[in-house]
Amino acid sequence: MKSEELARAAVRALTPYQSARRLGGNGDVWLNANEYPEAVAFSLTQQTLNRYPECQPAAVITGYAAYAGVKPDQVLVSRGADEGIELIIRTFCEPGQDAIIYCPPTYGMYSVSAETSGVACRTVPTDENWQLDLAGIAAQLDGAKVVFVCSPNNPTGQVINPDDMRTLLEMTRGKAIVVADEAYIEFCPQATLSGWLADYPHLVILRTLSKAFALAGLRCGFTLASAEIIALLLKVIAPYPLSTPVADIAAQALTPQGVAAMRERVTTLLLNRRQLIDGLRDTPCVEQIFDSETNYVLVRLTASSAVFKSLWDQGIILRDQNKQPGLSGCLRITVGTREECQRVLDALNKQPSLTAAENP
Protein backbone atom coordinates (compact mmCIF):
# COMPACT_ATOMS: atom_id res chain seq x y z
CA MET A 1 0.00 0.00 0.00
CA LYS A 2 1.27 3.49 -0.78
CA SER A 3 1.90 5.69 2.27
CA GLU A 4 -0.70 8.10 0.89
CA GLU A 5 -3.33 5.35 1.17
CA LEU A 6 -2.26 4.56 4.73
CA ALA A 7 -2.99 8.13 5.84
CA ARG A 8 -6.27 8.89 7.62
CA ALA A 9 -9.15 9.81 5.30
CA ALA A 10 -9.50 13.18 7.04
CA VAL A 11 -5.85 13.98 6.31
CA ARG A 12 -6.00 12.83 2.67
CA ALA A 13 -9.02 15.10 2.12
CA LEU A 14 -7.36 18.09 3.78
CA THR A 15 -6.40 21.33 2.07
CA PRO A 16 -3.62 22.80 4.24
CA TYR A 17 -3.97 26.34 5.57
CA GLN A 18 -2.81 28.76 2.89
CA SER A 19 -0.53 30.78 5.13
CA ALA A 20 0.92 33.97 3.75
CA ARG A 21 4.35 32.32 3.88
CA ARG A 22 3.24 29.25 1.90
CA LEU A 23 1.73 31.45 -0.81
CA GLY A 24 5.22 32.75 -1.51
CA GLY A 25 5.88 35.90 -3.48
CA ASN A 26 8.99 37.94 -4.03
CA GLY A 27 8.32 41.22 -2.38
CA ASP A 28 9.96 43.94 -0.44
CA VAL A 29 6.66 45.24 0.99
CA TRP A 30 5.04 42.42 2.96
CA LEU A 31 1.51 43.39 3.89
CA ASN A 32 -0.20 40.00 3.72
CA ALA A 33 0.17 38.44 7.20
CA ASN A 34 -0.77 41.22 9.64
CA GLU A 35 2.73 41.19 11.06
CA TYR A 36 4.31 44.20 12.73
CA PRO A 37 6.45 45.85 10.02
CA GLU A 38 9.70 46.19 11.96
CA ALA A 39 11.75 43.78 14.07
CA VAL A 40 12.17 44.41 17.78
CA ALA A 41 15.59 43.47 19.20
CA PHE A 42 15.96 40.94 22.01
CA SER A 43 18.95 39.11 23.47
CA LEU A 44 18.87 35.69 25.06
CA THR A 45 19.57 35.51 28.78
CA GLN A 46 19.08 31.76 29.33
CA GLN A 47 22.01 29.53 28.34
CA THR A 48 20.83 26.26 29.91
CA LEU A 49 19.90 24.56 26.66
CA ASN A 50 21.12 21.19 27.96
CA ARG A 51 17.98 21.13 30.16
CA TYR A 52 14.37 20.64 29.11
CA PRO A 53 12.31 23.82 29.48
CA GLU A 54 9.42 24.29 31.92
CA CYS A 55 6.09 23.21 30.40
CA GLN A 56 4.48 26.49 31.45
CA PRO A 57 7.37 28.88 32.20
CA ALA A 58 6.47 30.77 35.39
CA ALA A 59 7.84 34.14 34.25
CA VAL A 60 5.79 33.97 31.05
CA ILE A 61 2.59 32.92 32.82
CA THR A 62 2.81 35.53 35.58
CA GLY A 63 3.82 38.20 33.06
CA TYR A 64 0.84 37.50 30.84
CA ALA A 65 -1.57 37.17 33.78
CA ALA A 66 -0.50 40.61 35.03
CA TYR A 67 -0.85 42.09 31.54
CA ALA A 68 -4.28 40.52 30.92
CA GLY A 69 -5.62 41.14 34.45
CA VAL A 70 -6.38 37.49 35.25
CA LYS A 71 -4.99 34.95 37.72
CA PRO A 72 -1.98 32.83 36.67
CA ASP A 73 -4.09 29.64 36.84
CA GLN A 74 -6.33 31.14 34.15
CA VAL A 75 -3.47 31.34 31.61
CA LEU A 76 -2.03 28.71 29.28
CA VAL A 77 0.93 29.46 27.01
CA SER A 78 1.37 27.56 23.73
CA ARG A 79 3.15 27.52 20.38
CA GLY A 80 1.11 30.40 19.01
CA ALA A 81 -2.63 30.93 19.39
CA ASP A 82 -2.93 28.36 16.60
CA GLU A 83 -1.87 25.64 19.01
CA GLY A 84 -4.52 26.95 21.43
CA ILE A 85 -7.18 26.42 18.74
CA GLU A 86 -6.01 22.85 18.21
CA LEU A 87 -5.84 22.07 21.94
CA ILE A 88 -9.39 23.33 22.49
CA ILE A 89 -10.71 21.12 19.68
CA ARG A 90 -8.75 18.07 20.87
CA THR A 91 -9.89 18.63 24.46
CA PHE A 92 -13.60 19.13 23.81
CA CYS A 93 -14.53 17.44 20.52
CA GLU A 94 -14.93 13.69 20.01
CA PRO A 95 -13.71 12.90 16.45
CA GLY A 96 -16.44 11.60 14.16
CA GLN A 97 -19.11 12.75 16.59
CA ASP A 98 -18.90 16.37 17.77
CA ALA A 99 -18.81 19.53 15.68
CA ILE A 100 -17.44 23.05 15.90
CA ILE A 101 -19.26 26.16 14.70
CA TYR A 102 -17.60 29.20 13.14
CA CYS A 103 -18.89 32.23 11.28
CA PRO A 104 -17.33 32.99 7.88
CA PRO A 105 -15.79 35.08 6.53
CA THR A 106 -13.23 34.53 9.28
CA TYR A 107 -9.84 33.09 10.24
CA GLY A 108 -8.98 29.83 8.44
CA MET A 109 -7.40 27.77 11.22
CA TYR A 110 -10.64 26.79 13.00
CA SER A 111 -11.67 24.59 10.09
CA VAL A 112 -8.14 23.31 9.39
CA SER A 113 -7.68 22.21 13.02
CA ALA A 114 -11.13 20.61 13.17
CA GLU A 115 -10.62 18.74 9.90
CA THR A 116 -7.21 17.37 10.90
CA SER A 117 -8.83 16.08 14.10
CA GLY A 118 -11.77 14.48 12.25
CA VAL A 119 -14.21 16.94 13.82
CA ALA A 120 -17.09 18.26 11.70
CA CYS A 121 -17.39 21.97 10.86
CA ARG A 122 -20.67 23.85 10.80
CA THR A 123 -20.63 27.33 9.33
CA VAL A 124 -23.08 30.09 10.18
CA PRO A 125 -22.16 33.03 7.93
CA THR A 126 -22.22 36.51 9.48
CA ASP A 127 -24.81 39.08 8.39
CA GLU A 128 -24.29 41.99 5.98
CA ASN A 129 -22.50 43.95 8.74
CA TRP A 130 -20.23 40.99 9.57
CA GLN A 131 -22.13 40.44 12.83
CA LEU A 132 -23.31 37.14 14.29
CA ASP A 133 -26.43 35.36 13.04
CA LEU A 134 -27.54 34.31 16.54
CA ALA A 135 -30.67 32.47 15.38
CA GLY A 136 -28.53 30.58 12.86
CA ILE A 137 -26.06 29.59 15.59
CA ALA A 138 -28.90 28.51 17.93
CA ALA A 139 -30.25 26.27 15.17
CA GLN A 140 -26.83 24.57 14.74
CA LEU A 141 -25.95 24.19 18.42
CA ASP A 142 -27.18 20.65 18.99
CA GLY A 143 -24.05 18.41 18.87
CA ALA A 144 -21.65 21.34 18.60
CA LYS A 145 -19.07 21.53 21.39
CA VAL A 146 -17.14 24.69 20.50
CA VAL A 147 -18.22 27.98 18.88
CA PHE A 148 -15.34 30.10 17.53
CA VAL A 149 -15.89 33.86 17.28
CA CYS A 150 -13.04 36.06 16.11
CA SER A 151 -13.27 39.59 17.57
CA PRO A 152 -12.10 41.84 16.09
CA ASN A 153 -12.65 39.56 13.12
CA ASN A 154 -9.93 38.62 10.66
CA PRO A 155 -10.25 39.57 7.77
CA THR A 156 -13.21 41.97 8.09
CA GLY A 157 -11.72 44.10 10.90
CA GLN A 158 -14.68 44.83 13.20
CA VAL A 159 -15.41 43.93 16.81
CA ILE A 160 -18.35 41.57 17.37
CA ASN A 161 -21.23 43.33 19.13
CA PRO A 162 -20.83 42.66 22.90
CA ASP A 163 -24.60 42.26 23.41
CA ASP A 164 -24.53 39.46 20.84
CA MET A 165 -21.59 37.83 22.64
CA ARG A 166 -23.63 37.91 25.86
CA THR A 167 -26.59 36.30 24.12
CA LEU A 168 -24.28 33.65 22.65
CA LEU A 169 -22.72 32.96 26.05
CA GLU A 170 -26.17 32.62 27.64
CA MET A 171 -27.46 30.26 24.95
CA THR A 172 -24.36 28.02 25.16
CA ARG A 173 -24.11 27.85 28.97
CA GLY A 174 -23.64 24.20 30.02
CA LYS A 175 -23.73 23.09 26.36
CA ALA A 176 -20.71 24.37 24.46
CA ILE A 177 -17.46 26.29 24.85
CA VAL A 178 -17.36 29.78 23.32
CA VAL A 179 -13.92 30.82 22.07
CA ALA A 180 -13.31 34.54 21.55
CA ASP A 181 -10.23 34.88 19.35
CA GLU A 182 -8.66 38.19 20.42
CA ALA A 183 -5.50 38.02 18.31
CA TYR A 184 -5.87 41.76 17.48
CA ILE A 185 -7.24 43.01 20.80
CA GLU A 186 -4.21 45.26 21.46
CA PHE A 187 -5.49 47.54 18.68
CA CYS A 188 -8.85 47.98 20.52
CA PRO A 189 -8.11 46.95 24.13
CA GLN A 190 -11.43 48.26 25.47
CA ALA A 191 -13.21 45.47 23.51
CA THR A 192 -11.68 42.55 25.41
CA LEU A 193 -13.99 40.03 27.05
CA SER A 194 -11.38 39.09 29.68
CA GLY A 195 -13.50 40.76 32.38
CA TRP A 196 -16.30 38.31 31.56
CA LEU A 197 -14.33 35.18 32.46
CA ALA A 198 -15.66 35.33 36.04
CA ASP A 199 -19.27 35.25 34.80
CA TYR A 200 -18.91 32.61 32.10
CA PRO A 201 -17.01 29.41 32.99
CA HIS A 202 -17.38 28.23 29.36
CA LEU A 203 -15.69 31.32 27.85
CA VAL A 204 -12.20 30.87 26.40
CA ILE A 205 -10.11 33.78 25.05
CA LEU A 206 -7.22 33.39 22.62
CA ARG A 207 -4.34 35.87 22.52
CA THR A 208 -0.99 36.04 20.74
CA LEU A 209 2.40 37.79 20.71
CA SER A 210 2.36 37.61 16.89
CA LYS A 211 0.61 40.88 16.09
CA ALA A 212 0.95 44.00 18.29
CA PHE A 213 3.85 42.45 20.24
CA ALA A 214 5.77 42.16 16.93
CA LEU A 215 6.81 38.54 17.59
CA ALA A 216 5.18 36.41 14.88
CA GLY A 217 8.46 34.54 14.41
CA LEU A 218 8.59 33.60 18.09
CA ARG A 219 5.45 31.41 17.93
CA CYS A 220 3.93 32.21 21.30
CA GLY A 221 0.23 32.49 22.13
CA PHE A 222 -2.05 32.38 25.15
CA THR A 223 -5.36 30.88 26.18
CA LEU A 224 -7.31 32.59 28.97
CA ALA A 225 -10.14 30.68 30.65
CA SER A 226 -11.45 29.34 33.95
CA ALA A 227 -8.84 27.42 35.98
CA GLU A 228 -10.97 24.32 35.30
CA ILE A 229 -10.62 24.64 31.52
CA ILE A 230 -6.90 25.49 31.74
CA ALA A 231 -6.37 22.29 33.79
CA LEU A 232 -8.08 20.26 31.02
CA LEU A 233 -5.95 21.84 28.28
CA LEU A 234 -2.81 21.09 30.32
CA LYS A 235 -3.65 17.38 30.14
CA VAL A 236 -3.57 17.54 26.33
CA ILE A 237 -0.66 19.93 25.62
CA ALA A 238 2.79 18.53 24.77
CA PRO A 239 5.22 18.27 27.72
CA TYR A 240 7.59 20.97 26.36
CA PRO A 241 5.53 23.21 24.06
CA LEU A 242 7.91 26.22 24.30
CA SER A 243 11.64 26.10 23.78
CA THR A 244 13.86 27.86 26.34
CA PRO A 245 14.75 30.76 23.95
CA VAL A 246 11.04 31.34 23.21
CA ALA A 247 10.16 31.47 26.91
CA ASP A 248 13.15 33.77 27.53
CA ILE A 249 12.07 36.32 24.91
CA ALA A 250 8.35 36.08 25.76
CA ALA A 251 9.11 36.86 29.40
CA GLN A 252 11.06 39.98 28.31
CA ALA A 253 8.22 41.08 26.01
CA LEU A 254 5.79 40.87 28.93
CA THR A 255 7.72 42.99 31.43
CA PRO A 256 6.15 46.43 32.15
CA GLN A 257 8.74 47.97 29.76
CA GLY A 258 7.90 45.39 27.09
CA VAL A 259 4.18 46.10 27.39
CA ALA A 260 4.79 49.87 27.30
CA ALA A 261 6.85 49.47 24.11
CA MET A 262 4.03 47.42 22.57
CA ARG A 263 1.53 50.20 23.38
CA GLU A 264 3.78 52.76 21.66
CA ARG A 265 3.93 50.55 18.57
CA VAL A 266 0.14 50.35 18.56
CA THR A 267 -0.13 54.16 18.71
CA THR A 268 2.20 54.47 15.71
CA LEU A 269 0.35 51.82 13.72
CA LEU A 270 -3.01 53.48 14.40
CA LEU A 271 -1.63 56.73 12.94
CA ASN A 272 -0.36 54.81 9.90
CA ARG A 273 -3.79 53.21 9.54
CA ARG A 274 -5.37 56.69 9.49
CA GLN A 275 -2.94 57.72 6.72
CA LEU A 276 -3.69 54.54 4.74
CA ILE A 277 -7.48 54.89 5.02
CA ASP A 278 -7.41 58.60 4.15
CA GLY A 279 -5.34 57.77 1.07
CA LEU A 280 -7.59 54.89 0.05
CA ARG A 281 -10.62 57.24 0.16
CA ASP A 282 -9.04 59.24 -2.68
CA THR A 283 -8.02 56.21 -4.73
CA PRO A 284 -10.15 55.64 -7.88
CA CYS A 285 -10.01 51.81 -7.96
CA VAL A 286 -11.20 51.55 -4.32
CA GLU A 287 -14.94 50.87 -4.13
CA GLN A 288 -15.40 50.20 -0.43
CA ILE A 289 -13.29 50.48 2.72
CA PHE A 290 -14.47 48.49 5.73
CA ASP A 291 -14.08 49.91 9.24
CA SER A 292 -11.05 48.52 11.03
CA GLU A 293 -10.31 48.08 14.73
CA THR A 294 -7.10 46.23 13.81
CA ASN A 295 -3.73 46.52 12.03
CA TYR A 296 -5.23 45.70 8.63
CA VAL A 297 -7.84 47.18 6.35
CA LEU A 298 -10.21 45.22 4.13
CA VAL A 299 -11.03 46.98 0.85
CA ARG A 300 -13.21 46.15 -2.15
CA LEU A 301 -11.59 47.14 -5.41
CA THR A 302 -12.47 47.39 -9.06
CA ALA A 303 -10.69 44.53 -10.89
CA SER A 304 -9.22 43.30 -7.61
CA SER A 305 -7.47 40.25 -9.10
CA ALA A 306 -5.65 42.38 -11.65
CA VAL A 307 -4.72 44.90 -8.97
CA PHE A 308 -3.47 42.13 -6.66
CA LYS A 309 -1.32 40.70 -9.46
CA SER A 310 0.00 44.11 -10.51
CA LEU A 311 1.07 44.99 -6.97
CA TRP A 312 2.54 41.49 -6.50
CA ASP A 313 4.66 42.03 -9.61
CA GLN A 314 5.88 45.31 -8.08
CA GLY A 315 6.93 43.51 -4.89
CA ILE A 316 3.95 44.66 -2.82
CA ILE A 317 2.34 41.56 -1.36
CA LEU A 318 -1.26 41.90 -0.13
CA ARG A 319 -3.72 39.17 0.87
CA ASP A 320 -6.40 38.22 -1.65
CA GLN A 321 -9.71 37.52 0.13
CA ASN A 322 -11.69 37.12 -3.08
CA LYS A 323 -12.45 33.43 -2.45
CA GLN A 324 -13.96 33.93 1.03
CA PRO A 325 -17.77 33.95 1.20
CA GLY A 326 -19.08 37.50 0.81
CA LEU A 327 -15.67 38.96 -0.01
CA SER A 328 -15.61 39.00 -3.80
CA GLY A 329 -13.30 41.76 -5.01
CA CYS A 330 -11.75 42.20 -1.56
CA LEU A 331 -8.09 42.49 -0.61
CA ARG A 332 -6.73 42.75 2.91
CA ILE A 333 -3.93 45.25 3.45
CA THR A 334 -1.79 45.02 6.58
CA VAL A 335 -0.90 48.42 8.02
CA GLY A 336 2.86 48.73 7.59
CA THR A 337 5.31 51.57 8.11
CA ARG A 338 4.38 55.03 6.78
CA GLU A 339 6.59 54.38 3.76
CA GLU A 340 4.96 51.02 3.07
CA CYS A 341 1.46 52.52 3.32
CA GLN A 342 2.54 55.21 0.86
CA ARG A 343 3.98 52.58 -1.54
CA VAL A 344 0.61 50.80 -1.58
CA LEU A 345 -1.30 54.04 -2.16
CA ASP A 346 1.04 55.11 -4.97
CA ALA A 347 0.76 51.72 -6.67
CA LEU A 348 -3.04 51.65 -6.35
CA ASN A 349 -3.33 55.15 -7.73
CA LYS A 350 -1.31 54.13 -10.81
CA GLN A 351 -3.78 51.34 -11.65
CA PRO A 352 -5.48 51.87 -15.01
CA SER A 353 -9.08 52.77 -14.19
CA LEU A 354 -11.51 50.22 -15.53
CA THR A 355 -15.21 50.80 -16.02
CA ALA A 356 -17.58 48.42 -14.30
CA ALA A 357 -18.17 46.60 -17.61
CA GLU A 358 -14.49 45.72 -17.92
CA ASN A 359 -14.29 44.47 -14.33
CA PRO A 360 -13.82 40.68 -14.65
Ligand X SMILES: *Cc1c(COP(=O)(O)O)cnc(C)c1O
Applying CB under 6 A, among 37, 53, 80, 157 the residue interacting with ligand X is 80
Q: 117 φ, ψ to 5°?
A: -90, 0
- By CB under 6 A, tell whether 154 contacts ligand X: yes
CA 117, CA 83: separation in Å to the nearest integer? 13
- By CB under 6 A, tell whether 30 contacts ligand X: no
How many residues bind ligand X (CB under 6 A)? The answer is 13
Stretch that binds ligand X, among 7-15, 23-31, 56-64, 79-87 (CB under 6 A): 79-87
- By CB under 6 A, tell whether 248 contacts ligand X: no
Task: Kindly tell me which of 23 and 49 has the beta carbon lying closer to ligand X.
Answer: 23
- By CB under 6 A, tell whether 181 contacts ligand X: yes
CA 175, CA 141: separation in Å to the nearest integer? 8
Enumerate residues 6+ apart whose C-beta is below 8 A from 147: 100, 101, 102, 137, 141, 168, 172, 176, 177, 178, 179
Applying CB under 6 A, among 216, 230, 250, 327 the residue interacting with ligand X is 216
CA 32, CA 45: separation in Å to the nearest integer? 32
Helix (H, G, I), strand (E, B) or coil at 179: strand
Stretch that binds ligand X, among 19-27, 39-47, 78-86, 114-122 (CB under 6 A): 78-86
Q: Show the CA angle centred on residue 254, arms to residues 92 and 262, nearest 5°.
A: 105
* Residue sitting closest to ligand X (CB): 80
CA 214, CA 217: separation in Å to the nearest integer? 8
Shortest spacing between CB 81 and ligand X, in angstroms: 4
CA 235, CA 222: separation in Å to the nearest integer? 16
Burial class of residue 3, CB neighbours in 10 A (0-12, 13-18, 19+): exposed
Residues in 93-152 that interact with ligand X by CB under 6 A: 107, 150
- By CB under 6 A, tell whether 272 contacts ligand X: no
Task: Kindly tell me which of 296 and 312 has the beta carbon lying closer to ligand X.
Answer: 296
- By CB under 6 A, tell whether 172 contacts ligand X: no
Cα R_g (the chain), whole angstroms? 21
Task: Kindly tell me which of 247 and 286 has the beta carbon lying closer to ligand X.
Answer: 247
Task: Kindly tell me which of 122 and 319 has the beta carbon lying closer to ligand X.
Answer: 319
- By CB under 6 A, tell whether 186 contacts ligand X: no
Shortest spacing between CB 202 and ligand X, in angstroms: 20
Residue 161 CA: distances (Å) to CA of 167, 193, 333: 10, 11, 23
Q: Show the CA angle centred on residue 75, arms to residues 268 and 163, nearest 5°.
A: 70
Stretch that binds ligand X, among 22-30, 208-216, 279-287, 330-338 (CB under 6 A): 208-216
Binding site for ligand X (CB under 6 A): 34, 80-82, 107, 150, 154, 181, 183, 208, 210, 216, 221
